Amino acid sequence: MSLARISRARILRTGSRGLPVRVAVPVISARLNSGLSSEPSKHTTVLSKNFTDPARNSFFEYTWGTWLTNDAEEKLKRRTTFSIEGLNDLLRELYTKSHGEYAKSTEIQSDKTVTKKASSCESLDFLKFPNINVLTHNVSVAHLGSLNPNEDLNTKEISSIHEGKHHRIYKVVTNSDREFVLRLPYRGLYAAHEQSELGLKRKIQSEVATIDLVSERISTSKVLAYATDSNNCVESPFILMEFTKGTSLIREWNPLSENQMEVKSVIDQVMELNDAGALSIEGFQGFGSVYFKHDCPEGIPAFKEESPYVIGPIAESDSYLGATESPVGPWKLDEPLKIVEDYSSNLMEAFKDNERALGVYSKLNKLAPVLFNPDSKILPNFKELFSPRLFIPDLDPINVLKSEDSISLLDLEQSSIKPFILHSYPKFVAYDGPKIFTVEELEEIKKETHDLEMVMQYDYMFKRTRNQFLWELALNNRRKELIGAISPAVKLIKSGYVATVEDPENYLTVERSLIDLCEMWEGYAQHGLVKEAECPVKFSPSEVERNTQELQQKEQDMVKPFALTQGWIPQDLFAKLYSQKVITESNVEGNYEIDVEKAMEGMEPEGTEDK
């Protein structure tokens, strides 16, 4: 199955000054295996504060998938209502300021920005635009465009172009010949308690500052304005950015390609952005996430030299799962493992009603302070591995845009500053299954089996091993001082923490990592890799056996269709399976059932080469 997703989107045409514009234009958007019409749903509305349009509601609904269980509830959480009129007012205000007081932030020559003042973040007029922050150095003629004298800036068209895991993206077209991106989080996902809402606020604040920090080093979309709650003219938390044109690098990514150079090319491009935009930033004065001083006045100065940035609480969503306030940093340079200790404490609070998960995270919490020995001499540059480096969790070809003259990195959500030794592999190359390292080794294994399915599995293992190795090779070519982090011992020692960050619900895998670590602890202690001679936690034979059985059962459950996506199905695929009666409505209202035998039958004959 191709990784490229192409489909249809909803667009909204708006008329300026209350006058409707009866035009609608198709927009490309991400969908899977489209069996529906490629024609987008269209709606023309009137831009006026005194005009209400019930037909607008469908424009805010989640449309990219269906859940087998609690579908209506899940979609409601992802509804992204906002004020179109308020957005238009904000854009007008930014346009006015780009030609007025903010014009001082840049000097323009021949319509090109040639110099720029230091980054600056400030609030807009509270009475007119409450709770909206502006990056004044980005609000310029270059980003807002120009109009004829006495002409007002107006929104011409809004298109829904992406509905992601955490947020939705709208493309906004104006009459100033400029296009913008409006990113809206799914507010319903953060409504559980005050800590969830605090986590959302910090995610937005930190991502904006991180984008600004890395934009001095690599190409990325410039942020114009943002808000962290709904008490503003847009009536939603948001990030307003310039629209970056280009083609996603995902179109070049085929992880199971026979052509190694093709795979290496994509990995090298992602690593180049990671190195230039993140790993090359040295001199951080603590651990946590990056903020503007404006948003986090109590934070640690990010660098020794003066800068607009500070290091504040970590912005990872899972640190805010618990209903009560928990330690989330920032942390000083001399307490790198406090990150693991506090993170596991937060999960102990979040999973306090789950005895099994609580037991696992309690053990991780005991291990955290002695997980590594920073004074170890066993690996070269071991101290360097504890240096604070920017970690971008969503490094992925899908978040890289290429144009004729640039390559840009998008989506820096939940980025944080951690010791490099605690960084994990990007998900698109991460692989912790059985390893096959060479073609010769693969051919030898193939000779020993005549089972076609097993041959395909071995081929899969080889290519996933190869992809991860190519990432390690790219790291070694650029940052030799950090290559010790790929040591098998280092990988195992941190594997419990890494598995926790990837998915806190997956506590059985975390427990297996801790069991494996305890078995190897004595040897690691003898070489000085860990701090204590004796492992501070123990697993009884019965606990090990229970974990083995539960993991086996979980693996069997994960074979079921759509188990990996937790029952979520891309909408076009859902429509196809529903029409074929593979999926039917269950006895519980709003839920669906899947006929597993029919589903498996439909997957077999077609596209064998793609599988």
DSSP per position, 383-406: GGGGSEEEE-TT--GGGEEE-SS-
Query: How large is the C-alpha radius of gyration of the chain?
Result: 26
Residue-wise burial string across 524-560, b where 16 or more C-beta atoms lie within 10 A, e elsewhere: bbeeebbbeeebeeebeeeeeeebeeeeeeeeeeeee
The answer to whether position 44 is within a domain reads: no
106: number of CA atoms within 13 Å, CB side? 24
A 10 A CB-CB count for 179 gives 17
567: number of CA atoms within 13 Å, CB side? 10
Name the least confident of 20-34, 103-117, 467-481, 498-512: 20-34
In the prediction, which pLDDT does 118 show? 61
Rounded CA-CA distance 42/24 in Å is 6
Query: Which amino acid is residue 135, in one-letter code?
Result: L
In the prediction, which pLDDT does 84 show? 92
In the prediction, which pLDDT does 371 show? 95
Together in a domain, 237 and 291: no
Together in a domain, 467 and 384: yes
Rounded CA-CA distance 60/52 in Å is 15
The answer to whether position 548 is within a domain reads: yes
Rounded CA-CA distance 81/267 in Å is 37
Query: Which of 173, 226, 219 is closest to 202 using CA atoms?
Result: 226
In the prediction, which pLDDT does 523 show? 95
The answer to whether position 45 is within a domain reads: no
Together in a domain, 316 and 237: no
Q: Residue 382: which pLDDT band, with cuts at 50, 70 and 90? A: confident
Name the least confident of 125-129, 257-261, 389-393, 437-441: 125-129
580-586 long-range CB contacts below 8 Å, 24 or more apart?
583/68
- Domain end: 203, 223, 244, which one? 244
Rounded CA-CA distance 555/40 in Å is 39
In the prediction, which pLDDT does 17 show? 40
In the prediction, which pLDDT does 82 show? 95
Name the residue range of residue 271's domain.
Answer: 251-556
Backbone phi and psi for residue 306, each to the nearest 5 degrees, phi listed first: -65, 135
Together in a domain, 220 and 276: no
Rounded CA-CA distance 240/397 in Å is 23
Rounded CA-CA distance 12/156 in Å is 9
Rounded CA-CA distance 374/420 in Å is 12
Rounded CA-CA distance 585/255 in Å is 36
Residue-wise burial string across 305-336, b where 16 or more C-beta atoms lie within 10 A, e elsewhere: eeebbbbbbbbbbbbbbbeeebebbbbeeeeb
List the end-to-end C-alpha distance of the chain, in Å, as a whole number. Answer: 6
Residues contacting 488, CB < 8 A, separation 6+: none
What is the pLDDT averaged over residues 202-229? 96
Determine the Cα angle at 135 with ends 129 and 137, to 5°.
130
**Number of structural domains found in the chain:** 3
Rounded CA-CA distance 451/289 in Å is 50
The answer to whether position 165 is within a domain reads: yes
Helix axes 452-478, 260-274, angle to 10 degrees: 40
Rounded CA-CA distance 423/385 in Å is 10
The answer to whether position 151 is within a domain reads: yes
Rounded CA-CA distance 43/23 in Å is 9
Residues contacting 432, CB < 8 A, separation 6+: 495
The verdict on whether omega for the bond into residue 561 sits within 30 degrees of 0, i.e. cis, is no
- Domain end: 244, 267, 299, which one? 244
A 10 A CB-CB count for 565 gives 12
Together in a domain, 279 and 232: no
Rounded CA-CA distance 260/270 in Å is 16
In the prediction, which pLDDT does 597 show? 79
Rounded CA-CA distance 516/547 in Å is 12
Query: Which of 199, 201, 235, 205 is closest to 223 using CA atoms?
Result: 205
Q: What is the DSSP letter of 32?
A: S
The answer to whether position 416 is within a domain reads: yes
Rounded CA-CA distance 227/233 in Å is 10
| Mean of per-residue pLDDT scores for the chain | 86
Residue 236 has pLDDT above 50, yes or no: yes
Residue 218 has pLDDT above 80, yes or no: yes
Residue 19 has pLDDT above 50, yes or no: no
Using the structure block, give the residue that is written with the tokens 């693996």: 555
Beta bridge partners of 167: 185
In the prediction, which pLDDT does 603 show? 53
Q: Residue 427: which pLDDT band, with cuts at 50, 70 and 90? A: very high
Q: What percent of the chain has pLDDT over 70?
A: 86
Together in a domain, 315 and 195: no
Q: Residue 537: which pLDDT band, with cuts at 50, 70 and 90? A: very high
Q: What is the pLDDT of residues 467-477, one digit of tens each?
A: 999 999 999 99
Q: Listing from the earlier edge strand, what are the strands of the sheet with 247-248?
A: 247-248, 400-402, 407-409
Name the H helices within 313-406: 338-350, 355-367
Together in a domain, 324 and 417: yes
Which CATH number fits the domain that encloses residue 143? 3.30.200.20
The answer to whether position 318 is within a domain reads: yes
In the prediction, which pLDDT does 15 show? 52
Together in a domain, 229 and 333: no
Token representation of residue 546: 């229970």
In the prediction, which pLDDT does 376 show? 87
Query: Which of 260, 263, 280 is closest to 420 using CA atoms?
Result: 280
Q: What is the pLDDT of residues 160-210, one digit of tens each?
A: 999 988 999 999 999 999 999 999 999 999 987 889 999 999 999 999 999
Token representation of residue 363: 């053990």
Together in a domain, 442 and 346: yes
Q: Which helix (H) or strand (E) holds 542?
A: helix 541-558
Together in a domain, 538 and 573: no
In the prediction, which pLDDT does 587 show? 87
The answer to whether position 195 is within a domain reads: yes
Together in a domain, 591 and 477: no
3-class DSSP state of 311: strand
> Residue 313: which region, alpha, beta or left (left: phi > 0; alpha: psi -120 to 50)?
beta
Residue 486 has pLDDT above 90, yes or no: yes
Q: Residue 101: which pLDDT band, with cuts at 50, 70 and 90? A: low
Q: What is the DSSP letter of 117?
A: P
Q: If you write DSSP's letter for every residue of 447-476 in order, what string do you get?
A: HT---HHHHHHHHHHHHHHHHHHHHHHHHH
Together in a domain, 392 and 522: yes
Using the structure block, give the residue that is written with the tokens 């991780």: 364
